[in-house]
C-alpha cells in the first residue's frame, strides 16, 4: 500500500546532541510537511517542501532544519535539541499545496530529550 | 490568520449513542476541510475530506457536513462504539493547513 513512513518511531536524544528524523513516501506527492505536536495540542506546522522549494514558517526556530534529497524522502534535523523540543513529530504529504488536496500522515516519531 | 476551534474539548458518551463533534473556523476562504482521528501516541488517520464546493461526505457510520459561509463543520458519529474512543481533529486548508486542538472522545462500554 502507498503510504507515509517515519523512522524511527521513538527517538531518545541528549540535550544538545543533534538528531535527524526521517520520512519517506510512496505516494509520489509533491508536498511534504513537518509538524510538531506537543501533548494535548494541535499539530504545529514547522515547514514544508513543494518539490524542491523549501518553505519555512516564520516562527520555526533556527534550530530546526530540513532536507529533501528527492521526491520520496524528507528529513528533519534538530541541531541542538532542548528539553522543550520533546514532542511528537509528524510528517505529512499532499499532492498540492493549495486546492482540494488531502493530507496523508505518517505514524509520527516520538522524540524524548534527556 | 485562520483560527480553528473545536468544541467540546472532551466528550464522554455511552456505547450506542449518536454524537456530534463541532469545528468552527474564522476565514471562509478555504479549499477543503479534513477530519482526522488520532489515537494516543499515534499519527493522524484521515477520516473524511470535504471540498469547499461540497456540503457533506459520508463514510460508514461517519458523516461530515460543511457550511463554509458560517465557518462550521460537524462530524456525526452514529451508533458509537468503544473503538471510536480517540481524539478527533479537524483541519482546514487555506493558504496552509490549520488544525483545531481536537475533541477527545471516550465511548463507555
The CA distance from A16 to the nearest CA of chain B, in Å, is 24
Nearest to B99 among A43, A88, A98 (CB): A43
Query: CA nearest B93 in A: which residue?
Result: A98
As a whole number of angstroms, the distance between CA B63 and CA B40 comes to: 23
Asked whether the predicted pLDDT for residue B73 surpasses 80, the reply is yes
Mean pLDDT in chain B? 94
Give pLDDT, residue A81. 97
Give pLDDT, residue A99. 74
Give pLDDT, residue A51. 94
Torsion of CA B91, B51, B1, A62, to 10 degrees: 60
* A69-98 per-position pLDDT tens digit: 999 999 999 999 999 999 999 999 999 877
The average pLDDT across B51-78 equals 95
Selected residue of B5, B42, B43 to mutate for chain A interface (largest A Cβ count, 10 A): B43
Phi, psi of B84 (to 5 degrees): -80, -10
Among residues A83, A113, A102, the alpha carbon closest in space to that of A31 is found at A102
Query: CA nearest B50 in A: which residue?
Result: A100
Strands B103-108 and B10-14: parallel
Among residues A42, A22, A26, the alpha carbon closest in space to that of A104 is found at A26
Residues 6+ apart with CB under 8 A from A76: A20, A21, A23, A34, A46, A64, A65, A66, A89, A91
Strands B19-25 and B72-77: antiparallel
Give pLDDT, residue A2. 61
Give pLDDT, residue A1. 65
Torsion of CA B24, B81, B104, B53, to 10 degrees: -20
Is the Cβ–Cβ distance between A104 and A91 less than 8 Å? Answer: no
As a whole number of angstroms, the distance between CA A98 and CA A54 comes to: 15
**How long, in residues, is chain A?**
114
Is the Cβ–Cβ distance between B99 and B40 less than 8 Å? Answer: no
Residues of chain A with pLDDT under 50: none
Selected residue of A9, A101, A110, A112 to mutate for chain B interface (largest B Cβ count, 10 A): A101
Give pLDDT, residue B7. 92
The average pLDDT across B81-86 equals 97
Give pLDDT, residue B94. 84
* B37-50 per-position pLDDT tens digit: 999 888 899 999 99
Annotate B59-96 with b (16+ C-beta within 10 A) or e (fewer).
eeebbbbbebeebebbbebeebeeebbbbbbbbbbbee
Torsion of CA A97, A29, B43, B93, to 10 degrees: 20
Amino acid at each position: 500500500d502507498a503510504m507515509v513512513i517515519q523512522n524511527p518511531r521513538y527517538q531518545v536524544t541528549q540535550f544538545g546532541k543533534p538528531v535527524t528524523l526521517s520520512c519517506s513516501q510512496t505516494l509520489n506527492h509533491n508536498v511534504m510537511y513537518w509538524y510538531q505536536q506537543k501533548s494535548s495540542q494541535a499539530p504545529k506546522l514547522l515547514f514544508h517542501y513543494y518539490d524542491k522549494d523549501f518553505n519555512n514558517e516564520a516562527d520555526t526556530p533556527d534550530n530546526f532544519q530540513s532536507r529533501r534529497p528527492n521526491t520520496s524522502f524528507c528529513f528533519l534535523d534538530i541541531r541542538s535539541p532542548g528539553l522543550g523540543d520533546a514532542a511528537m513529530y509528524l510528517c505529512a504529504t499532499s499532492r498540492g499545496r493549495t486546492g482540494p488536496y488531502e493530507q496523508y500522515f505518517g505514524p509520527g516519531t516520538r522524540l524524548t530529550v534527556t | 490568520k485562520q483560527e480553528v476551534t473545536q468544541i467540546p474539548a472532551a466528550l464522554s458518551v455511552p456505547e450506542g449513542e449518536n454524537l456530534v463533534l463541532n469545528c468552527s473556523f474564522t476565514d471562509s476562504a478555504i479549499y477543503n476541510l479534513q477530519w482526522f482521528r488520532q489515537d494516543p501516541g499515534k499519527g493522524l488517520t484521515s477520516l473524511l475530506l470535504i471540498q469547499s464546493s461540497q456540503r457533506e461526505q459520508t463514510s460508514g457510520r461517519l458523516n461530515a457536513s460543511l457550511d463554509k459561509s458560517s465557518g462550521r463543520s460537524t462530524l456525526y458519529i452514529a451508533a458509537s462504539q468503544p473503538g471510536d474512543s480517540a481524539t478527533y481533529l479537524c483541519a482546514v486548508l487555506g493558504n496552509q493547513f490549520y488544525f483545531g486542538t481536537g475533541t477527545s472522545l471516550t465511548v463507555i462500554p
